[in-house]
Every structure is written in structure tokens, then in C-alpha cells.
Amino acid sequence: MVILKALSPSDLKEVCEAGETAARQFVLSKLDKKLLRSLDIQVTSERKGGTIFKVDVFIDVEPVVEIDVDKLADMAADAALSAIDERMRDKKLG
């Protein structure tokens, strides 16, 4: 979870999209797309003394895949939060 100051709607959208893209790219860098049944990435934000970002990644893979999908999802969420933090620094908002 990353806590930052309040954002304009357009900045919020841009930052959330950067997080979603980073999570998706991370998962696809570790797993062949053909073995991926579904990938759901939810980037949410809440304003409480700033903006709090939360990323949830849900992965469903083919049964033949021997990978810890929970660990992969956690790592993808971390990648998303890092991208959000970087985007905020680039915009000098954090």
C-alpha cells in the first residue's frame, strides 16, 4: 500500500493505469500467455489524508503449470506499486 497526497482525476487515472500495466507486464514476463487462463488486476485508490493505492492481482493458469500463482500475484502487485510510486515521483506528486 502506498500513501500519497490527493490527485486530480486525470493524474489518478494515469497513475492507476501505470500500475496495472506494470503488473500485467510482470506476469507476462514470468508466464507464457498461452498458459494463462485469466489475469485480473485491480488497482484501487482511496483518499484518507492523501491517496492510498491498493493492487490486487488474480491469476488462473492451466493445470499443467507448476508455479506458485499466489507468490506471482504478490510479486506483480509489488511491481505495480513500485510503478505507481515511480510515476508519482516523476510527477513530483509524492
* CATH code, 28: 3.30.300.100
Domain tally for the chain? Answer: 1
Residue numbers of the domain that contains 66: 2-91
The mean per-residue pLDDT over the stretch 64-72 comes to 95
pTM: 0.87
Question: What does the DSSP assignment read for 42-54?
Answer: EEEEEESSSEEEE
How far, in Å, are 63, 67, 85, 90 from residue 78 at the CA level? Answer: 25, 18, 10, 18
Which pLDDT does position 35 carry in this prediction?
A: 95
The band of 92, judged by pLDDT with boundaries at 50, 70 and 90, is low
Q: Which one, of 46, 41, 42, lies nearest residue 7 by Cα?
A: 46
Alpha-carbon distance of 10 to 32, in angstroms, equals 33
Average of per-residue pLDDT values in the chain: 89
| pLDDT tens per residue across span 1-42 | 555 456 788 888 999 999 999 999 999 999 999 999 999 999
pLDDT of residue 61: 97
